Amino acid sequence: MSETEGVIKYQLHHTHSPLPAQIALAELNAWRSMMFKLNLIGQNPQRYQGYGFGNISQRLNTENLQFIISGTQTGHLSVLSRHDYSLVTQAIPQHNTLFSSGETQPSSEALTHASVYLQKPDIQAVIHVHCPEIWQKTQALNLAHTAADVAYGTPEMAAAVTQLFKSENWQQSAVFTLLGHEDGVIAFGISLSQAACALITELAKAIAEI
């Protein structure tokens, strides 16, 4: 691929500190482990120049944009600990800026997660995976998608996501692809289970198409 996977492109203001003790991670970590088992999140020396890929996040409430997201370059870990998650406290996609805290920095796709959360207050979970089966079948599955010239982790990607949600031609599903981000697929929902099930359903459809 032409771009380097996993590189943070936004302006990050990060405070190195433990996550607040009251933040529960069990459900988020369980679904992240499931995505790892399915090889949708991970790290493989034969893929993407050996960099980790995929990330998962969960919104903390509907009043603001704060969310927990897996940390940058944690793809090689089968199970994450509290040290491997980051709390995004503020995101300003139009200014390419993100504020966070935690013992690791947030994923390079955190700005894209933020742009999805900004679309609807009831979106509570976002899962970004790398799935060639779905990505290559974008047209056959009639999936919404961002353009091939829009790179990940940029204000342009955030703007493209906003346009997807506003498009009159998009009968909104819970899954869309990032054609400018090799194998990139995003699922979202009112819960982690809803987002994950939507993703797995599209994977099954894609496999049936092959």
Mean pLDDT of 6-35: 91
Residues 36-79: tens digit of each pLDDT: 999 999 998 888 777 779 999 999 987 778 999 999 989 999 99
Alpha-carbon dihedral sign for residues 98, 104, 109, 113: negative
In the structure encoding, which two tokens stand for residue 68, read together? 């927990």
Q: For tokens 């899954």, what's the residue?
A: 175
Q: Is residue 1 very low, low, confident or very high in pLDDT (cuts 50, 70, 90)?
A: very low
Residue 5: what pLDDT? 52
Laid out side by side, the sheet with 144-146 consists of: 11-16, 97-102, 85-92, 67-70, 55-59, 125-130, 184-189, 175-178, 144-146
Q: Compare 95 and 194 and report the one with higher pLDDT.
A: 194
* DSSP 8-state code for residue 106: B
- Using alpha carbons, select from 62, 55, 56 the residue that is nearest to residue 28: 56
> How far, in Å, CA of 25 to CA of 79, rounded?
12
Q: What domains appear along the chain, each with residue ranges and CATH number?
A: 11-209 (3.40.225.10)
Across the range 76-101, mean pLDDT stands at: 93
* CA pair distance 60, 54, nearest whole angstrom: 20
pLDDT digits (tens, 9 = 90+) for 178-199: 999 899 999 999 999 999 999 9
